Amino acid sequence: MPHDAGATPSRDNLYYSFDAAGGAVHVVMLGSYADHAVGSAQHEWLRRDLAAVGRGGTAAFVVALVHAPWYSSNEAHRGEGDAMRGAMEALLRGARLDAVFAGHVHAYERFARVYAGEEDPCAPVYVTVGDGGNREGLAGRYADPQPAASAFREASFGHGRLEVVNATHALWAWHRNDDDEPVLADQVLAEASALLANASVTSFPSIGNRYRLLYLRLPYRGNDTSAPRQRAVSRLRVPFVMVPDDGPLLAAFRASLRPFVLAHRLGQGGNVAAVMGDLAGLLGRPRRERFPTCAVVGNSGVLLGSGRGAQIDAHDLVGLNNARVAGYAADVGAKTSLSFVNSNVLHYCAVRSAVATGGCACHPYGRAVPMAMYVCQPVHLLDALICNATATPASPFPLLVTDARLDALTARIAKYYSLRRFVATTGEPASNWTRRHDERYFHYSSGLQAVVMALGVCDEVSLFGFGKAAGAKHHYHTNQKKELDLHDYEAEYQFYRDLQARPETVPFLDEAPGFKVPPVKLYW
């Protein structure tokens, strides 16, 4: 600890304050094991210190650090910070602190802005980041169910970084450390939050005022001392008319981000399997109204020459994941009720077509077939806005953005089966899995998410084109030679086999209240 930091009466430096980042951040260090009761020396010092910051301080942000967490759902050290919180919490809220960071519990958890146990927009964010490493091991037990205010929690070794972006915005990100590799974990939400707070939209006339060249930008710093600059995170050429002006477009983008942020917070904790009871609503059906029969059609080359087309078309709902139908109807059918894509597909299409075609013409099976899309990057919500803004009654843009809980559930299933396969085939411990799979990029396939969704909306599910055979093409409709490295297809195939033969062994789905895996039949 600093020997002489701040005007503190603590002879042992158990509490003090200082300014950082050129005075932009005022840091308050509190002593969990010094007297903190109302009227104590520490309590009175904190009151004076925060009052001085409020009267004339230049700090843009005020954060506090404490050892024992004030808010935690981990079973370790439960309640050890409660007395201190009861004595000092009102002072921090009154001073509008931005965040409180704690250690002690050997795990990671981030709470929303909370005061007296309830979410409060005027209170600080509470973060426990005690997972830097220790001989005692991780604190792996959390209370169940997860409190509503607990936005993210995980018992993994890691570290966090607080970046002061400018005078009005800062960005917190937590990185999971696996096998000495820094893996970004609590960042999708951070990216969405940064876009919500900091993004700007600017556009310039293009090609004789016929079009606008539109940029979505975020501020960033090259290093700790440089001035913030604007970095383009998306660039689109759009029609000069139809698309809203920069200000209203930015407002609409932020409006689309807010529910995404909220849903993602819900999806990162708690019982995400509960989404299985809500999927019918995503497709515009009453909550418990299911399709009698569903066919999910994959891309595998085993479909060539299969003659399954008529059998597929006989189902009530047919879903494909962006695969071609024209010219292959005898093997894959001609009926498509729903397509499944990731937001990269929409983004690349919008870049090409937003300027030329109303509604972007990005639906692989025509505009009458809705597109279910999971969001890989929050910035892609801008593409959806642009395509929707240019849509007309003759050129509609039917899009269903998947529930973040479905995304989280599918990701858990994909990783579980990949870990299980890795251990079975290599004999190595599960902790070595990241040596083969870069977790920053590992992802489930859109076909896997289509199957999980079908389980939630169908009484019977048939799978076609999920598997491989000797001599068969990788995709029936392309010349792609091998699988993408970010997916573990063999692990996903095992999931499908378990659904058919051993549904009771499939993890996570049994956590959905009242849900039972419907009969699943594989047709290779």
CB 133 within 8 A of CB 103: no
For residue 77, pLDDT beyond 90: yes
Q: Which structural domain range is residue 243 located in?
A: 197-258
For residues 139 and 212, state if they share a domain: no
Residue where one domain finishes, among candidates 258, 283, 300: 258
d(CA 12, CA 255): 49
**Residue 400 parent element (H or E):** strand 399-401
Res. 116 pLDDT band, cuts 50 70 90: very high
Tens of pLDDT, residue by residue over 269-281, are 567 888 898 888 8
Secondary structure (3-state) at 180: coil
For residues 289 and 311, state if they share a domain: yes
Q: Does the residue 312 lie in any domain?
A: yes
- Local structure of residue 255 (DSSP, 8 states): H
Q: Does the residue 54 lie in any domain?
A: yes
CB 173 within 8 A of CB 129: no
For residues 138 and 57, state if they share a domain: yes
Choice among 39-43, 293-297, 322-326 with the minimum mean pLDDT? 322-326
Say what the pLDDT of residue 183 is: 42
For residue 180, pLDDT beyond 50: no
For residues 157 and 206, state if they share a domain: no
Q: Collect all residues with Cβ–Cβ distance below 8 Å to 515 and sequence separation of at least 6.
A: 273, 276, 277, 456, 509
Q: Does the residue 505 lie in any domain?
A: yes
Nearest to 170 by CA among 127, 115, 216: 127
Residue where one domain finishes, among candidates 208, 229, 258: 258
Tens of pLDDT, residue by residue over 231-268, are 888 888 888 888 899 999 999 998 888 877 776 665 55
CB 176 within 8 A of CB 163: no
Domain count, the chain: 3
Say what the pLDDT of residue 9 is: 55
Q: Does the residue 136 lie in any domain?
A: yes
For residues 58 and 154, state if they share a domain: yes
d(CA 320, CA 133): 45
For residues 208 and 70, state if they share a domain: no
Is pTM beyond 0.85? Reply is no
State the average pLDDT for the chain: 84
Give 224-231 contacts, CB < 8 A, sequence gap 24+.
224/21, 225/22, 228/165, 228/166, 230/200
